[in-house]
Structure 1
Amino acid sequence: MTQHAADGHHEIQVRGARENNLKGVDIDIPKRRLTVFTGVSGSGKSSLVFGTIAAESQRLINETYTAFVQSFMTSAARPDVDAMHNLTTAIVLDQERMGVNSRSTVGTATDAFTMLRIVFSRLGDPYVGTSSAFSFNTPEGMCPRCEGMGEVTAVDPDQLVDREKSLNEDAITVPNMGVGTYNWETFASTGLFDPDKKLKNYTDAEWEDFLYKPATKVKIGTKSFNYEGLVVKIQRVYLNKDREAMQPHIRAFADRAVSFADCPDCGGSRLSQAALGSRINGVNIAECAAMQISDLAAFVRGLDEPSVAPLLVNLIGLLDSLVEIGLGYLSLDRSTGTLSGGEAQRVKMVRHLGSSLTDVTYVFDEPTTGLHPHDIARMNDLLIRLRDKGNTVLVVEHKPEVIEIADHVVDLGPGAGQHGGEICYYGDVAGLRASDTLTGRHLDHRARLRETFRKPSGHLSIKGAAQHNLRDVDVEIPLGVLTVVTGVAGSGKSSLIHGNLAGRDGVVVADQSPIRGSRRSNPATYTGLLNPVRNAFAKANGVKAALFSANSEGACPTCNGLGLIFTDVAMMGQVASVCEQCEGLRFTPEVLTYTLNGKNISEVLGMPVEEAVDFFPSGQAHAIVSRLADVGLGYLRLGQPLNTLSGGERQRLKLAIHMAEDRSVYVLDEPTTGLHLADVDQLLALLDRLVDSGNTVIAIEHHQAVMAHADWIVDLGPGAGHDGGQVVFTGTPAELIADADTLTARHLRDYVA
């Protein structure tokens, strides 16, 4: 189905788009308008918007640079598309978490802290220097003790040793330091300690040397050793390393042995004493950075100083935008690594609202993720403001409130995966409503309240919860029912549930966080499906199972079973190209001669989950793929790399795995993320099945269909940040609608009406 608008230069033209599952899509997208792309998960929305339009725009911009500059950039392959015309610069605002660099904060990521530093360098009393004197990322501004990190690490000696034992009895419990290892020798053979003496009997001097002696050369007879105390060694070997790069058992040890405390010199503010001593109206820069952004905006408004007037106007504008976008509850000193995907996307968005660029194509991925219905209206205003500045705004979204404000809607489908990739509707919202597409039919669909609410079989108690903005909260979460925890963004939902239930016996948390090692991993390896599949291939062909693993013997030797060759090109980082030896199939030619029911291992891994349900009619393989289909991932290919999955898909994959375990309490964080209105019903049916088979489901969720479907609601608020942190309602959805006057109650009342 081809769609054309009137005049050539006023629309972005796409011809013959075949990226991923797109089936030769032709479309014209009007410029300087707000276009929303809809369709079920896996229908091809992201392939068209991100994989084709945004990818080609960014590739063409890179090609305008000199060869020298290009050598510093990662090179992108041209998307699979016949032709594209009239592209403008694309800026992608996705939900990838912002870099987890521990030096990055909301203030540094938005330039708000940079502006604040300049204000302090001009107005602060006493004067301490230029703006870099207030930066915790420069030598002159950082606290010397913690080097601008704000934290110091303390090591607990009892996590390193068993004091009841001697060195010869394996007293050191640190990984890779058992009896006989080189590390153990440096303690047992230096002559400083009696290897048969129990550690609890050491003198104070011996204990001090054993743990804290700085690196020194020790001579024993003709041999000389480098000796350092155990805690000193642990800090050097383990703690100065990137936590993410550690092996899991080392990371578990480091988490056990090390506690992080605010730096005693700077109180966690990361800054030098000089910077902390300079004040404006009695307030220093660290106190400004720790304020809730909505309060900081009020403080900055109170500064009347002609010498920095233009700067103050910009800073106030930036802080107001953060408040307007629903992030007023954050503070500038909040580390960006702790933001959710939705929060990260909104922080990135604020950087562009103040930009003087126009005629840019802004591309959004579900900008309402993590937003309460109350906040969605404000997000809509921002999308419209970006459009009205003369920009093209493309939004991938499922929420009817956002679809309503679109100038144009592009609906993809009709199904997911191989059943999608076509344009089902193109036009305005009224036309979508009247169309017979899945999206059109569901636009006004409402979940109903339950006729009867399930009765709890007991309760999980949370007492005195005080993490982040929670105000000493006591709450009973019912067991054996579906509980929805709701409230505006920043009201304290995650703090309450993750902070107090994660880690309890029988509680499993399925969230949207990235999955480690996800370039090699895929749904087949991650769910354990590959084991029964390999065994079935081995049995059918009379060969060994290891041949059918792309991480083992059967792997193509050229690409080591990745199907891609990653080349480090000068400064460009890694460039991926399809392996010419196996043509991306990942296995040796010999392995591909073995078949199971007429398909080789590469063809089986290329299968979507829904096809695999029929292909494996019984046994463990059938059980695993059925669970993947149950959670709405029927369109995923078994061998699809996990790093191509969205946050919502990752969460549903984790849920499918946990459904096989003997756990009884499931905590889900916005399980509707990335789900089409039609798929939400399927998710609700799945949650019902989990509860009806004796489990407890606790969902942190803003989607009103899920609230309406709940047995019990815990509503937090009344606002965000220091205006939140309290339980403002607990009870059934019917009671919420009938009696409560919270933001959630008002919106849910309208929804079911």
Structure 2
Amino acid sequence: MSQIHIKGANQNNLKNISVDIPKHKLTVFTGRSGSGKSSLVFNTVAAESERLLNETYSTYIQNQLTHYEKPEVDQILNLPVAMVINQKRLGGNSRSTVGTISDIYASVRLLWSRLGSPFVGYSSVFSFNNPNGMCETCQGLGYVEDIDLNELLDFDRSLNEDAIKFPSFRPDSWRGKRYLYTGLFDNDKKLRDYTEEEMDTFLYTKPKKLKNPPENWPRTAKYEGLIHRFRRSFLLNDNFEKKRFLADVERVVTSKDCPDCHGQRLSRKVLTCKIKDLNIADFTSLTIEDAIPFLESLEDEKAKYIIEPLLKQLKALKHVGLNYLTLDRETPTLSGGESQRIKLIRHLNSPLTDLVYIIDEPSVGLHPEDIDRINDIIKSIRDKGNTVLIDEHDPDVIKIADHVIDIGPGAGKRGGEITFTGTYDELLGSNTATGTALREKHSLQQNHKEAEDRISIDNITKNNLDDVSVEIPKSMTTVFTGVAGSGKSTLLSEGLKSDENCIFVNQKSIHASSRSNVLTYMNVFDDIRSFFSKKTGLKKSMFSYNSEGACPECGGKGVIKTELAFMPELSQVCELCQGSRYKEEVLDAKVEGYSIADILALTVEEAINLFEENKAVRERLYHLEQTGLQYMTLGQSLNTLSGGEMQRLKLSWHLDSDASDTVYVFDEPTTGLHEKDIPTLLECFEKLKEAGNTVIIVEHNLTMMTHADWLIDIGPGAGNNGGRVLYSGHPEGIFDVEESVTGKHLKRYIEETI
């Protein structure tokens, strides 16, 4: 019972793995990106634990929970209940904040109801989500939205001429027909010629039944003015359609601080209640760093039972490097790493034991200075009697492992095997990719060239930056360093936002569905379909699973989902196409023994040789390989990619560009990348630089810092303790800056590897 026994794991690329994981220990899973770590830890261990736990509930409860497919594994014995702490963003909407998601705001509300003066009510009235406490003007949002009619309408057009400038209101759409088919308007009349009454009817009519509508008007439909319909559809709810048309919504809708509460969300009466001259909104706008001394200054014995646990929670957030956050920060603005640390803190004080905590790359977004603290928390979770499994690349996290399991030897089809199990010291002596990478010696860039020209960022004042200026050398690689929240990203985004030659390559998802794949993003799927059409004689559209070639049973999805009343939704591989997505006649049309589905199942590495003669396709695939994505299959859906993979996919696209004199800004491009794969990424940056471009990298990874031509360190701390340029120059000069924690860790890193 002292070990979790896994026998015959074949999930994704795993090759019949059997392995024992020690209980009540900290086990780190290592290996190249795409080797199969996540397949074993998350898709096998975590998925099976959560699936079995869900099965203990009634069918009604099961229907409310996430449905997990049974993983491809013969047997797992001694499996504890899993707590998964992943990097999925906390999400939510503008009503969800750091304070509400962490439950800290509940204690803050209680504190103000007990100590605040004058007394305005109990804890619930301090909630901006409660009708009794929220500002009536903005409904507790802190801002009001308005519709810019000049962006929504083209007054020089008629309804027939597409006068409503919004995709879902086009004349041929069902929403557009709700205006064209009313009989209320002359559909060929320009909007600028409407009478005041006609415009009022068109825009502001509340929902009503039409008298004697034309025959093509739906019998049960009500007519609703455009402004009412638009507000209901795109402003009042964070629904799928709002996300789908987000760019257009942002173009049409203007937002400003609420004129009544000035962004503080609560009613005027509630905001009069203060503790030491601060109302509750003033307090939640303080950084955690500043909120702690405020609470420590309160000397009320009656409120001690509220203040002490509240301080404990805030100090825990500070301990994991989140001292720069404010409790009123909206959760959709948090990064994956910030979200993960908030989730981790929520488990810190849990009295539950004998669980298996599964943590996905806890080092993401963290400076080496903060990694020591996150390591302390991980070890404390283990020491309470839990088993901890971590998927990680960072040497400073791997170091604290009681046990290491390395998966490889390569990625994709070349991975999926156990290549090592043992202690960290034994891993260092192994011939695995991880062992050799950890033994690698690192030194700073030598033979510096002097820049002929520089980019000036002048007088930036935003967030924690106060009149900050810096110069960045052109045609070189500059790495921006500093703890999370020091001001690096703010300085670059504000300083370069008006530079037309600047391209920000970040980790944000591309708006894509499961029907978009790697080939469609790289813009070569069209070439491949043309190639198959020419060779087989079938129409080009037959080779698209989104068009004529789609399997008639699953509609080109590869899976069939069935709703079973109170049972969870059942998802099964389509029996007709076996998950390939295509019609039988398309699958029978082969070129050199490959069907189009076979091509999509190939990894980038395998496909490069196949398209030897097709230069356009081969070049794009080669660029994917250059960014370390050689393990991906050509048909992999974009909505399955991690943040780091998404950024490297975008980089692959830019490598195909002939651009020169362009400034590329990369946001932590090593996220999710094995140390052995970093040189591949560095070659890409060199290629961009050789073409005459400037490369700017925001990064915490020490290996990446050693390859910088120029280093700019922001700090010394986060939030109000940061926001200063501590150093700007050739990397070795940072060692002389006493305030720089980056310099301290970089020096340690180089000395360790000498």
Q: Deviations over 1:412-439 (max 9, x none)?
A: 1111111111111111111111112111
Q: Tell me the equivalent position of 1:30.
A: 22
* Secondary structure at the counterpart of residue 65 of structure 1: coil
Q: Tell me the equivalent position of 1:152.
A: 144
Whether the 8 Å contact between 2:655 and 2:684 is mirrored in structure 1 is no
Going from structure 1 to structure 2, the CA distance change for 1:26 and 1:186 (only over 3 Å counts) comes to closer
* Secondary structure at the counterpart of residue 546 of structure 2: coil
Q: Deviations over 1:365-409 (max 9, x none)?
A: 110111111111111111111111111111111111111111111
Going from structure 1 to structure 2, the CA distance change for 1:685 and 1:195 (only over 3 Å counts) comes to closer
Distance 2:529 2:203 in 1: 52
Whether the 8 Å contact between 1:188 and 1:195 is mirrored in structure 2 is no
Q: CA deviation at 1:632?
A: 0.3
Q: Tell me the equivalent position of 2:681.
A: 683
Going from structure 1 to structure 2, the CA distance change for 1:429 and 1:553 (only over 3 Å counts) comes to same
Distance 2:30 2:77 in 1: 23
Residue of 712, 725, 730 corresponding to 2:723: 725
Q: CA deviation at 1:185?
A: 6.5
Q: Tell me the equivalent position of 2:261.
A: 266
Residue of 51, 54, 67 corresponding to 2:46: 54
- Answering whether residue 448 of structure 2 is matched by residue 450 of structure 1, we say no
Letter in 2 for 1:536: F
Q: Tell me the equivalent position of 1:404.
A: 399
Q: CA deviation at 1:504?
A: 3.6
Distance 1:351 1:551 in 2: 43
Residue of 465, 490, 495 corresponding to 1:495: 490
Name structure 1 gaps, 5 residues minimum.
1-8
Distance 2:561 2:288 in 1: 43
Residue of 100, 106, 109 corresponding to 1:114: 106
Residue of 696, 704, 707 corresponding to 1:706: 704
Whether the 8 Å contact between 1:486 and 1:701 is mirrored in structure 2 is yes
Letter in 1 for 2:692: G
Distance 1:88 1:49 in 2: 13
Letter in 2 for 1:570: A
Q: CA deviation at 1:210?
A: 8.8
Residue of 174, 177, 190 corresponding to 2:165: 174
Out of 701-710 and 310-319, give the one that drifted further: 310-319
Distance 1:308 1:197 in 2: 62
Q: CA deviation at 1:340?
A: 0.8
Whether the 8 Å contact between 1:502 and 1:508 is mirrored in structure 2 is no
* Secondary structure at the counterpart of residue 439 of structure 2: coil
Q: Deviations over 1:81-112 (max 9, x none)?
A: 11111111111111111123221111111110
Whether the 8 Å contact between 1:73 and 1:571 is mirrored in structure 2 is no
Whether the 8 Å contact between 1:446 and 1:705 is mirrored in structure 2 is no
Q: Deviations over 1:492-515 (max 9, x none)?
A: 112222344357423222221223
Residue of 471, 478, 496 corresponding to 1:476: 471
- Answering whether residue 82 of structure 2 is matched by residue 87 of structure 1, we say no
Pairs within 5 Å for 1:610-689: 610-617=605-612, 618-663=614-659, 664-689=662-687
Whether the 8 Å contact between 2:288 and 2:324 is mirrored in structure 1 is yes
Out of 308-317 and 371-380, give the one that drifted further: 308-317
Whether the 8 Å contact between 1:508 and 1:658 is mirrored in structure 2 is no
Q: CA deviation at 1:252?
A: 3.1
Q: Tell me the equivalent position of 1:530.
A: 525
Pairs within 5 Å for 1:198-213: none
Distance 1:24 1:194 in 2: 68
> TM-score with structure 1 length normalisation?
0.91
Pairs within 5 Å for 1:137-148: 137-148=129-140
Q: CA deviation at 1:32?
A: 1.2
> TM-score with structure 2 length normalisation?
0.91
Name structure 2 gaps, 5 residues minimum.
none
Whether the 8 Å contact between 1:550 and 1:556 is mirrored in structure 2 is yes
Whether the 8 Å contact between 2:178 and 2:223 is mirrored in structure 1 is no
Whether the 8 Å contact between 1:72 and 1:572 is mirrored in structure 2 is no
Whether the 8 Å contact between 2:362 and 2:374 is mirrored in structure 1 is yes
Q: CA deviation at 1:240?
A: 3.4
Going from structure 1 to structure 2, the CA distance change for 1:64 and 1:434 (only over 3 Å counts) comes to same
Distance 1:436 1:169 in 2: 70
Distance 1:274 1:428 in 2: 61
Q: Deviations over 1:327-346 (max 9, x none)?
A: 01101100110011111110
Q: Tell me the equivalent position of 1:4.
A: none
Q: Tell me the equivalent position of 2:61.
A: 69
Going from structure 1 to structure 2, the CA distance change for 1:253 and 1:662 (only over 3 Å counts) comes to farther
Q: CA deviation at 1:187?
A: 12
What percentage of aligned pairs have identical amino acids? Answer: 44
Going from structure 1 to structure 2, the CA distance change for 1:518 and 1:190 (only over 3 Å counts) comes to closer
Q: CA deviation at 1:751?
A: 2.0
Letter in 1 for 2:107: M
Distance 1:171 1:543 in 2: 37
Out of 368-377 and 564-573, give the one that drifted further: 564-573
Letter in 2 for 1:550: Y
* Secondary structure at the counterpart of residue 520 of structure 1: coil
Q: Tell me the equivalent position of 2:513.
A: 518
Letter in 2 for 1:633: L
Whether the 8 Å contact between 1:523 and 1:640 is mirrored in structure 2 is yes
Q: CA deviation at 1:463?
A: 2.6
Whether the 8 Å contact between 2:182 and 2:213 is mirrored in structure 1 is no
Letter in 1 for 2:38: S
Q: CA deviation at 1:410?
A: 0.7
Q: Tell me the equivalent position of 2:4.
A: 12
* Secondary structure at the counterpart of residue 443 of structure 1: helix
Going from structure 1 to structure 2, the CA distance change for 1:656 and 1:78 (only over 3 Å counts) comes to same
Out of 300-309 and 130-139, give the one that drifted further: 300-309
* Secondary structure at the counterpart of residue 466 of structure 1: strand
Distance 1:725 1:76 in 2: 45
Letter in 2 for 1:121: S
Distance 2:8 2:158 in 1: 71
Distance 2:200 2:557 in 1: 49
Out of 10-19 and 223-232, give the one that drifted further: 223-232
* Secondary structure at the counterpart of residue 274 of structure 1: helix
- Residues matched between the structures, number: 739
Q: Tell me the equivalent position of 1:5.
A: none
- CA-based RMSD: 3.0
Going from structure 1 to structure 2, the CA distance change for 1:292 and 1:211 (only over 3 Å counts) comes to farther
Whether the 8 Å contact between 2:63 and 2:569 is mirrored in structure 1 is no
Q: Tell me the equivalent position of 2:454.
A: 459
Distance 1:238 1:680 in 2: 43
